[in-house]
Amino acid sequence: MLRFALTRLSLVVPTFIGITLLVFVLIRLIPGDPIETMAGEHGIDPARLAQLRAEYGLDQPVLVQYGLYLSRMAHGDLGRSIATHEPVISEFRTLFPATIELSVCAILFAVCLGLPAGIIAAVRRNSIFDHGVMGLSLTGYSMPIFWWGLLLILLFSVQLGWTPVSGRIAVQYFIEPVTGFLLIDALLDGDFGAFRSALSHLVLPMIVLGTVPLAVIARMTRSAMLEVLGEDYIRTARAKGLPRFRVIAIHALRNALIPVVTVIGLQVGVLFTGAILTETIFSWPGVGKWLIEGINRRDYPVLQGGTLLIGAIVMIVNLLVDVTYGLINPRIRYTR
């Protein structure tokens, strides 16, 4: 197990370097210069442009810039944002908890609904419930996030008034960030009103961000369960007279979970992509929105640092998923 984890970890290093190179080159291929983009209609005097480019190290050959970037990164320095002049790492640290809070809730929402829906659809194959779940999950999967978000806001916030429109908490609550996770900070503060407000602000973005993973998980659970339910050992278990619940929950589900867990792991990447749009619609102060602004401003340090950190997190999650396989199915050996 340990050897497997170490082997997987050693693969992480070249992937990590690959990400740095890819991001570094790709963002420089986007036309536009960060200093010129900031200049707007005024333009910028060529002498001042040269001075500022030198200030940010943009006048160096790309390879030298990459080398400097790697060496600074090795010292834990991801540079400063060209637009805000704040260290990238501190901006990331401020914004990331909001993305994590939203993503964790979205994935919990997706798993809690998707898994049972998939199981029931498989068990009651070709029933109305099955067709309903599959139809809805296809619709959910195809729903553009922007449109879906606005639709929910119009219905639940504006028409019915059940949920707040956007943001993380109502303006009257003043919670000093401790962990950055507002639900936890509100509880630490002992302010239950703030906790309720934070929770109610989380509902719609959680649904919007969780919809695609929910659809994928439901469909994957259904097909994995159908495959397993046709296996000989399930027939044997049934023939032995085991209760139906036990056959489904223990014998079938546990074996069907492997592809489902893989899919859940892969959804982490999908969540970060979805977070970019969801955060913009719901004014959610996370890293997705920050990266979009970084692209618009050609803010190289933000894009390099942000993508790298998110890439690292996705890699770690995938590593954890690999490790989880063993916990679910002991037949998977890690020694080779």
Partner 1 sequence: MDRSILLAAVCASALVVASAASAKTLVFCSEGSPENFYPGVNTTGTSFDGNEPIYNRIVEFERGGTQVVPGLAEKWTISPDGTTYTFNLRKGVKWHSTSKSFKPTRDFNADDVIFSIERQWKEDNPYFKVTSPNHSYFGDMGMPKLLKSVEKVDDYTIKVTLNQPEAPFLADLAMPFAAIQSKEYADAMLKAGTPEKIDQDPIGTGPFYLVQYQKDAVIRYKAFPAFWGGKAKIDDLVYAITPDASVRWAKLQKGECDVMPYPNPADIETIKKDPNVTVLEQPGLNVGYLAFQTQKKPFDDVRVRKAISMAIDKKAIIDAVYLSTGIAAKNPIPPSMWSYNDDVKDDPYDPAAAKKLLADAGFPNGFETDLWAMPVQRPYNPNAKRIAELMQADLAKIGVKAEIKSFEWGEYRKRLQAGEHQMGMFGWTGDNGDPDNFLHTLLGCDSAQSAGSNIAKFCYKPFDDLVVKAKTVSDQAERAKLYAQAQVIFKEQAPWFTIAHAVQLKPINKRVVDFKLSPFGRHNFYGVDVRE
Nearest residue to 210 (alpha-carbon basis) of 110, 321, 85, 284: 110
Minimum CB separation of residue 66 from partner 1 in Å reads 22
Minimum CB separation of residue 113 from partner 1 in Å reads 25
Amino acid at 177: P
Minimum CB separation of residue 148 from partner 1 in Å reads 13
Contact (Cβ atoms closer than 8 angstroms) between residue 81 and residue 291? no
State the Cα–Cα distance between residues 133 and 121, nearest whole angstrom.
7
Q: C-alpha distances in angstroms, 245 versus 123, 179, 329?
A: 11, 41, 20
Amino acid at 176: E
133/152 with CB nearer partner 1: 152
Minimum CB separation of residue 82 from partner 1 in Å reads 9
26/158 with CB nearer partner 1: 158
Contact (Cβ atoms closer than 8 angstroms) between residue 191 and residue 175? yes
Amino acid at 314: V
Minimum CB separation of residue 117 from partner 1 in Å reads 30
Q: Which residues bind partner 1 (CB under 8 A)?
A: 31-33, 35-43, 45-46, 48, 51-52, 55, 83-86, 91, 94-95, 98, 150, 153-154, 157-158, 161, 164-168, 171-172, 174, 176-177, 280-286, 289-290, 293
SS3 87: strand
284/325 with CB nearer partner 1: 284
165/266 with CB nearer partner 1: 165
32/243 with CB nearer partner 1: 32
Burial class (CB in 10 A: 0-12, 13-18, 19+), 98: buried
List residues bridging with 87 in a β-sheet: 80
Running DSSP on this structure, what letter comes out for residue 80? B
87/269 with CB nearer partner 1: 87
SS3 164: coil
Minimum CB separation of residue 31 from partner 1 in Å reads 4
